[in-house]
C-alpha cells in the first residue's frame, strides 16, 4: 500500500526522500523509490512549487501540497534540489532534471549575494499581503497571453474565476501533463513547448510586481546544503555555472566567515560575520567541500574539509561518543545538548557522521571513521524507534556499513575522454560511491589524498581502481574498459 507523509500542514520530507532513493538496491528498493517519486511528483505539481520562478515554498497548509506558506527557505531549495537530482538519476525522468535546474537557477538569480554567499529566506508577503506576488486571476493571465493560450494555460494550471486562494489562483497542476494533453487533444511535446513559452511570459510580467522582502543573512549551515546541491547539479546536469556558484560560496565562507583563530562563524550580514559556528555549520561544510571535490578534483577542498573536521572533533566531540551542538567554548554557557533529530534540516550529528565516513574513507584516516561510528552508536535508539526523524543518520549508517565503493581514477582531467567518463559517472545511480581523480605521473602533492594515490599514478590514462575500504580490484585501463566497469557497478 501507499505510505503517506502525514496530513496538514505538510513540510517537504527532504532528507527522508534522499534516504528512500538511497535504499534503491535494498530488499524493498522498488517500493522505496516508488514512495519517493510519488511525493516528488505531488510536490512538483502542487502550489508549494513555484511553477513560474522555480524553487519551493516552505510548506503547504493543506494535505495536498496546494496552498503554501509562501516563504521560500534556502535550505529547502538545497535539500529538494538534491532529492530531484537523485530521482532523475534513479529514474531517468527529464522532468525531475528540469525541476532541479529551475530551482538552482532561482537560487542563483534571487538568493545569491554579490559576495557569493546565499541569502536565508524570501518572505511570504509583499505590500503586506501574503502570497500577493505569486497569485493570478484569469483576467491577468489573458492580458499577458491572449485568449487562446490563456485558456489552455488556465486549464492546465487549475486557474478558475473563483480561485483557490482568497479569490486568486495559486498555480498548480491538477492533472499530469500527459493527461492534460489528452484532455485538450494536443500532442504532449507541442503542449509542453506552448506552456514553457507561456510561463516565460508570465514570469516576465510577475517580475515587475513588488517583490517579497528578503532576509539577507548568510548562514553557514544552510549555505553548506546549497553548495552541496549546486556541486551535485553541476555534475548531473553538466552545468559549469552551478559549480562556479558553489565554489564562490565556499570560498566566501572560508575567507569571510572565520574568527582570528580561523574558527568558523555562524552568520554574516552586510560585511560582518559573528557568533561561533554550531555543529551543523561544521558538519555541513565538511560535506559541501567533499561534494565540491568530487566535481572539481581540486585537492585543496579535501584539505579544507579535513581542517574543519579536525576542529569539529576538537571542539564538539563528546568523549563518550557523538557530538554536542555547541563548541566547548561557545559564548552561551547553557547546558550542551546533542542534536540527533532531523528537523527542517538534517541534524548536525548526522551531517558530521556522514562527512566523517566519507572523508575517513577517502583519506584512509581510521580515526575519522571511528568518530562517525561512535556518533551513530549514540543515535542507534533513535534510528530504531523513529527512523523518519533520523533520515540523515540512516544515510550515514548506510554509507558506513556499505559496501561503499571508492572509484579512484588516474586520468588527465583535461582530456575529452576523461570528461566523457565523468559525465557518464555523474548520471549513474551509485549512492555509495566516493570518487577521486589525479593526473597520471603526478607524484605526492602533500595533500591528504596522497595515501589513496600512492603507487597508482604511474598508470596509463585513463585507469580506474575500484576499491572497498582500501581493498582494490585489478585496475581497468582505457576509455571503453572504464565505461564498461562503471556500467557494471550501476547495474
- Count the alpha carbons within 13 Å of 299 in the hemisphere toward its beta carbon: 18
Query: Per the structure block, which three cell numbers stand in for 310?
Result: 579536525
Helix (H, G, I), strand (E, B) or coil at 46: coil
- Could you please report the per-residue DSSP string of 334-400? SPP----S-SSS--HHHHHHHHHHHHHHHHT-HHHHHHHHHHHHHTHHHHHH-GGG-HHHHHHHHHH
> Maximum CA pair distance of the chain?
71
Q: Between the CA of residue 254 and those of 266, 317, 351, 377, what are the distances in Å?
A: 12, 22, 18, 31
| DSSP one-letter string for 109-138 | HHSB-TTSPBP-EE-SEETTEETTTT-B-H
Q: Are 280 and 347 in contact (CB under 8 A)?
A: yes
**In this structure, what C-alpha cell is assigned to residue 67?**
496552498
Distance CA 66, CA 171 (A): 9
CB-based contact 153:146 (threshold 8 Å): no
Q: What is the pLDDT of residue 2?
A: 38
In whole numbers, what is the pLDDT of the chain averaged over residues?
93
- pLDDT of the residue at 423: 95
pTM of the model: 0.95
> Across-strand partners of 122?
72, 214
**Which residue, 321, 216, 304, is CA-closest to 264?**
304
Task: For residue range 218-254, list pLDDT tens digits in order.
Answer: 999 999 999 999 999 999 999 999 999 999 999 999 9
Q: List the pLDDT tens digit at each of the 491 positions of the chain.
A: 334 456 778 889 887 888 888 777 667 778 888 999 999 999 999 999 999 999 999 989 988 899 999 999 999 999 999 999 999 999 999 999 999 999 999 999 999 999 999 999 999 999 999 999 999 999 999 999 999 999 999 999 999 999 999 999 999 999 999 999 999 999 999 999 999 999 999 999 999 999 999 999 999 999 999 999 999 999 999 999 999 999 999 999 999 999 999 999 999 999 999 999 999 999 999 999 999 999 999 999 999 999 999 999 999 999 888 899 999 877 665 667 777 778 888 999 999 999 999 999 999 999 999 999 999 999 999 889 988 889 899 999 989 987 789 999 999 999 999 999 999 999 998 888 999 999 998 888 899 999 999 999 998 899 999 998 778 899 999 999 999 999 999 88
Is the Cβ–Cβ distance between 394 and 365 less than 8 Å?
Answer: no
| Cα dihedral 257, 260, 266, 269 sign | negative
Per-residue pLDDT, 134: 98
Identify the burial level of 138 via C-beta atoms within 10 angstroms of its C-beta, where 0-12 means exposed, 13-18 middle and 19 or more buried.
middle
Amino acid at each position: 500500500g501507499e505510505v503517506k507523509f502525514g496530513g496538514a500542514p505538510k513540510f517537504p520530507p527532504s532528507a527522508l526522500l534522499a534516504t528512500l532513493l538511497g535504499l534503491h538496491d535494498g530488499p524493498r528498493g522498488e517500493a522505496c523509490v516508488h514512495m519517493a517519486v510519488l511525493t516528488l511528483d505531488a510536490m512538483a505539481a502542487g502550489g508549494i512549487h513555484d511553477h513560474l520562478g522555480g524553487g519551493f515554498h516552505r510548506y503547504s497548509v493543506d494535505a495536498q501540497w496546494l496552498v503554501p506558506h509562501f516563504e521560500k527557505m534556502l535550505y529547502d531549495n538545497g535539500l529538494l534540489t538534491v532529492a530531484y537530482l537523485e530521482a532523475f538519476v534513479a529514474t531517468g525522468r527529464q522532468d525531475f532534471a528540469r525541476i532541479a535546474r529551475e530551482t538552482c537557477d532561482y537560487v542563483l538569480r534571487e538568493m545569491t549575494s554579490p559576495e557569493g554567499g546565499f541569502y536565508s529566506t524570501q518572505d511570504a508577503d509583499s505590500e503586506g499581503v501574503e502570497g500577493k506576488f505569486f497569485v493570478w486571476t484569469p483576467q491577468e493571465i489573458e492580458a499577458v497571453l491572449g485568449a487562446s493560450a490563456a485558456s489552455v494555460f488556465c486549464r492546465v494550471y487549475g486557474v478558475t474565476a473563483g480561485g483557490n486562494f482568497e479569490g486568486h489562483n495559486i498555480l498548480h497542476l491538477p492533472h499530469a501533463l500527459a493527461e492534460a494533453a489528452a484532455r485538450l487533444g494536443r500532442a504532449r511535446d507541442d503542449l509542453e513547448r506552448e506552456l514553457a513559452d507561456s510561463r516565460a511570459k508570465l514570469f516576465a510580467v510577475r517580475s515587475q510586481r513588488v517583490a517579497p522582502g528578503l532576509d539577507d543573512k548568510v548562514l553557514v549551515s544552510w549555505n553548506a546544503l546549497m553548495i552541496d546541491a549546486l556541486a551535485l547539479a553541476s555534475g548531473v546536469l553538466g552545468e559549469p555555472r552551478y559549480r562556479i556558484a558553489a565554489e564562490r560560496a565556499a570560498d566566501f565562507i572560508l575567507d569571510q566567515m572565520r574568527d582570528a583563530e580561523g574558527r568558523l562563524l555562524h552568520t554574516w550580514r552586510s560585511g560582518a560575520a559573528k557568533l561561533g559556528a554550531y555543529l551543523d555549520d561544521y558538519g555541513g561544510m565538511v560535506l559541501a567541500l567533499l561534494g565540491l571535490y568530487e566535481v572539481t578534483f581540486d585537492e585543496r577542498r579535501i584539505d579544507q574539509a579535513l581542517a574543519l573536521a579536525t576542529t569539529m572533533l576538537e571542539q564538539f566531540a563528546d568523549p563518550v561518543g557523538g557530538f554536542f551542538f555547541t563548541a566547548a567554548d561557545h559564548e552561551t554557557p547553557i547546558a550542551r545538548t546533542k542534536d540527533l533529530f532531523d528537523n527542517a534540516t538534517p541534524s548536525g550529528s548526522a551531517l558530521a557522521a556522514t562527512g566523517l565516513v566519507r572523508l575517513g574513507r577517502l583519506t584512509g584516516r581510521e580515526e575519522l571513521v571511528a568518530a562517525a561510528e561512535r556518533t551513530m552508536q549514540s543515535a542507534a535508539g533513535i534510528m530504531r524507534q523513529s527512523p523518519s526523524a533520523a533520515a540523515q543518520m540512516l544515510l550515514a549508517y548506510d554509507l558506513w556499513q556499505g559496501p561503499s565503493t571508492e572509484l579512484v581514477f588516474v586520468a588527465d582531467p583535461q582530456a575529452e575522454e576523461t570528461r566523457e567518463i565523468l559525465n557518464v559517472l555523474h548520471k549513474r545511480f551509485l549512492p555509495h560511491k566516493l570518487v577521486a581523480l589525479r593526473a597520471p605521473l603526478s607524484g605526492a602533492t602533500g595533500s591528504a589524498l596522497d595515501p589513496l594515490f600512492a603507487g597508482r599514478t604511474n598508470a596509463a590514462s585513463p585507469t580506474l581502481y575500484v576499491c572497498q575500504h582500501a581493498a582494490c580490484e585489478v585496475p581497468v585501463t582505457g576509455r571503453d574498459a572504464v565505461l564498461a566497469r562503471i556500467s557494471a557497478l550501476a547495474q
